[in-house]
Structure 1
Amino acid sequence: MEPTTSAPEAPEVPELAEPYLREVLAGAGLAVEYVRAEGNTLYLLDDEGREVPVTDFAGGYGSVLLGHNHPAVVARAQELLAQGTPVHAQFSRHPYANRLAAELNRIIHRELGTEEPYFAIFGNSGAEAVEAAVKHAELDRGMRIAALAEEIAAQRESAVAAVASGTATVDPAALTRLGLTATGDASAAAHLLAAETERRNAVAVARPPLFLALEGGFHGKLAASVQLTHNEGYRAPFRSLAAQARFVPHDRPDVLKEVYAEERGVLLALTVADGRVTVTEREFPVFCAFVVEPIQGEGGIRVLSEEFAREIQEFSAAIGCPVVVDEIQSGMGRTGTLLASSALGLRGDYYTLAKTLGGGIAKTSVMLVRQAYYRKEFEIVHSSTFAKDSFSCHIALKVLELLEADDRLAYRRAAERGDALRAMLESVRTDHPDVIEDVRGRGLMLGIEFRDQSASTSPTVRAVAQGGLFGYVLAGHLLRAHRVRTFPTASALNTLRFEPSVGLSDAEIAQLETGLREVCALLRDGRGDTLTAA
């Protein structure tokens, strides 16, 4: 009789894909594997291999406004792949990208009431779109500086020549102003003045760009975008890699004026008037861009007020600083319009869009820059391997088609479902004012902020609150006990986010309400062990 042998067990695979993050997720009860997704639902497997539905309120951080695997988007993707659509056809014509840019312009023109075109630079992710925007803004700033420096140099040469020809003299006050003492004739004084202004201008021109951003803002974690992200923990380790930002508190226009006064730069020009050479100041564009989210996602779902949006617009226009509106999480119809900023009256010189632009399937993004700021040179110095490909552009066109269908039903649905969800969150807050601090947001981009629990009577709750894991523990409990998926916002860990799809049902809202009310009761009663029980 042949000896029997069993199949060898598969070797255990070491955890190499972000193992520390997996430990953190496991500690919060979030380290589960989802095996299928549709609509507003993700599915995991129980111990017997059966699918367990989980209602998804995280929504891919706002990426699946139309729902997971929307049938029309999936069908279009399958059609494109079956046709062998080219993903890699770089440095060739991309008419589908042009159609996508034109459709985005059509909708944006409708919302802004403008006809000025926005030119499109495509990318793969939201952070990449932000990087493209700030790179373009810096290219534009550099070209403006070069033109200004050339003009000032020509004026300087003209002034020196005027003195040499005897048609002008150097105003003694100009020398005194720069701390200079002239020796020799008028021509020597003119050359001395010219050399000193040229030296000072060279120092000013070498100054790195400065960005403006809001406290609580999040614009990505790449080398440039992370410096625009307010969270110090994300930003500080990489401070030396990119230009820095000044962060402005919400609804504080006075701070804008203070920052401008502190950071303002000038170049010195020599001008001839009434036969005298004098020193005049020309504004130097220190500020490269003002980057702002109309609704802060990772900062705790904070909505920019219409008043402050107007202040930002007017301030930026006055100092010649372009406004970059980051619509990566708030845009694409999530708040009832393609651009959340359009409802605030804020007009961007740049826009960044991503997430839902890819329909939850394609990884794509776009940076849009209005004609007044556009520099064609950027198209040569910036590129991205997977950007502007046929697959992602056609998927994005399908997404826009679905958003605009039936007289823009999806936008209205986002607003209506958002109102229903917010009404429930406000009801929970009203009933638990000792636990819930605030409810914020617009449309299907909402957040509920819990009061600080670092002094809770429960040692368990106190420990997770003090350790910065409070929001993740709440999310873990909602997942385990109520099959609801959500997360805290990255830079405001006491705030849970809710960014579901337009398919959100009343039953799913009720499911979340049950979970939130139980969480509030557990926190109120100090029952931390129940909250964290596996």
Structure 2
Amino acid sequence: MTAPVSTRSSADLIRAEEPVLAHNYHPLPVVVARAEGTWVEDVEGRRYLDMLAGYSALNFGHRHPALIEAAHAQLDRLTLTSRAFHNDRLAEFAERLAELTGLDMVLPMNTGAEAVESGIKVARKWAYEVKGVPADRATIVVAAENFHGRTTTIVSFSTDETARAGFGPFTPGFRIVPYNDLAALEAAVDETTAAVLLEPIQGEAGVVIPDDGYLTGVRELTRRKGCLFIADEIQSGLGRTGRTLAVEHEGVVPDVLLLGKALGGGIVPVSAVVARRDVLGVLRPGEHGSTFGGNPLAAAVGTAVVELLETGEFQSGAAELGSVLRDGLTGLVGKGVVGFRARGLWAGVDIDPEIGTGREVSKLLMHEGVLVKDTHGSTIRLAPPLTITAEELESALGVLEKVLRR
């Protein structure tokens, strides 16, 4: 990495944000100016190992050469047409993404929240036109402690008061049940249910992994009850858990798949609803859209992402290094870690509250050159780029041990 170009210090830049930037985030006090692979560099030239990877948006690391090359090549040709016209990159992107996921059709969007909103609209339309639910009566069943985004409709079915408070009135049509509870789910599904919308692993909640058989049970229940299973794999998908999709750990194929984050390779926002033909086929011209959704630059980068995943290299690497991560965390239990949940290169680590909050531990790790992010009190999340080496991962775990011991 070359030297940073900014002439303002980290402290100066953080102070400059205060009066002009909305305070909707509380970032750690590090100002990143350069990045390459698994490493980032601040404006003073200090280097940090990135153990968050943009909440999985950077699954392939910062500035992966194949993705940068795809973006550069497309920037020299065409970036945007809107969907008023066809473009020469979109067909291949949709074909290869559908094949990768084992589904039929693709609805390209931009952000994860847009994919979730689109999935909700499609499920409702399907319920009215295919299932025969009376107009405006469709319901969608979701899980407590979910995180699907922060639009007004999505926070309507959140159980996180920080995300909800002050943003009502809320959108009706949702039923909330405990996560990992098939009996509660069964009781909530009725003839008005359009879909069950779940994260196969709840990320924001602290990487909460359901019991074996839960996702299989959800798939069986939704088939039996005649409603859709929508899997939100925006964080868990595209190699993070050691499989292309987290649902693959139970051999489950949902009716609707929501993807985002890593689909844009950390370069441009790209998301997608991928579904069966009879589900996405309910949309007609004018009923849904996005000016930037499926733009040529996004399609070029998204195709390059799919091409990386088609080899299986990143999935197998995440599975193998996941063992290193689990072994390292197991050795820290009782030594400042009270418990953890991990699958592939993704872990929620519960820190002993007597040592400090998750944010306090995250700041200590930052000072030691490792970047993570806290959630829910004393939990920190580990989600390094899938390009991390065993040596880098072991080094990060060593720094965590050092901080906890201190």
State the TM-score, normalized to the length of structure 2. Answer: 0.90
For residues 480-532 of structure 1, the C-alpha deviation after alignment (integer angstroms, 9 at most, x for no partner) is 1x11000013xx3322111111221233223322322233224xxxxxxxxxx
Q: How does 1:10-29 map to 2 (within 5 A)?
A: 15-18=18-21, 20=23, 24-25=26-27
Q: How does 1:252-401 map to 2 (within 5 A)?
A: 252-260=181-189, 264=190, 285-401=191-307
SS of aligned partner of 2:280: coil
Shift of 1:19: 5.0
Give the match for residue 6 of structure 2.
Answer: none
Counterpart check, 1:70 vs 2:68: no
More displaced, 375-384 or 471-480? 375-384
Structure 2 counterpart of 1:484, one-letter code: V
Q: How does 1:369-518 map to 2 (within 5 A)?
A: 369-405=275-311, 408-429=312-333, 431-432=334-335, 435-451=336-352, 453=353, 456=354, 461=356, 470-480=357-367, 482-489=368-375, 492-518=376-402
More displaced, 123-132 or 378-387? 378-387
Change (3 A) 1:206 1:55: same
For residues 251-271 of structure 1, the C-alpha deviation after alignment (integer angstroms, 9 at most, x for no partner) is 3222123334xxx4xxxxxxx
Shift of 1:239: 4.4
8 Å Cα contact 1:309-1:345 kept in structure 2: no
Shift of 1:338: 1.6
- Percent identity at matched positions? 27
Superposed CA RMSD: 2.3
SS of aligned partner of 2:244: coil
Shift of 1:94: 3.3
* Residue 123 (structure 1) aligned to one of 109, 117, 126: 109
SS of aligned partner of 2:279: coil
SS of aligned partner of 1:213: strand
Structure 2 counterpart of 1:309, one-letter code: L
Give the match for residue 160 of structure 1.
Answer: none
8 Å Cα contact 1:208-1:243 kept in structure 2: no
Q: Distance in 2 between matches of 1:415 and 1:214?
A: 27
Change (3 A) 1:95 1:304: farther
Give the match for residue 90 of structure 1.
Answer: 83
Shift of 1:206: 6.3
For residues 420-447 of structure 1, the C-alpha deviation after alignment (integer angstroms, 9 at most, x for no partner) is 1221111112x52xx3222212111112
8 Å Cα contact 1:437-1:449 kept in structure 2: yes
- Counting matched residue pairs gives 393
Structure 1 counterpart of 2:169, one-letter code: S
Shift of 1:313: 1.5
Structure 2 counterpart of 1:42, one-letter code: V
Q: Distance in 2 between matches of 1:449 and 1:520?
A: 12
8 Å Cα contact 1:218-1:228 kept in structure 2: no
SS of aligned partner of 1:329: coil
8 Å Cα contact 2:82-2:292 kept in structure 1: no
8 Å Cα contact 1:250-1:308 kept in structure 2: no
Q: Distance in 1 between matches of 2:349 and 2:16?
A: 39
8 Å Cα contact 1:136-1:375 kept in structure 2: no
Q: Distance in 1 between matches of 2:268 and 2:374?
A: 25
Which ranges in structure 2 are unaligned for 5 or more consecutive residues?
Answer: 1-11
More displaced, 411-420 or 122-131? 411-420
Which ranges in structure 1 are unaligned for 5 or more consecutive residues?
Answer: 1-9, 110-116, 149-204, 265-284, 462-469, 523-534
Q: Distance in 2 between matches of 1:322 and 1:59?
A: 31
Shift of 1:248: 2.1
Q: Distance in 1 between matches of 2:306 and 2:237?
A: 12
8 Å Cα contact 2:51-2:382 kept in structure 1: yes
SS of aligned partner of 2:329: helix
State the TM-score, normalized to the length of structure 1. Answer: 0.69
More helix by share: 1
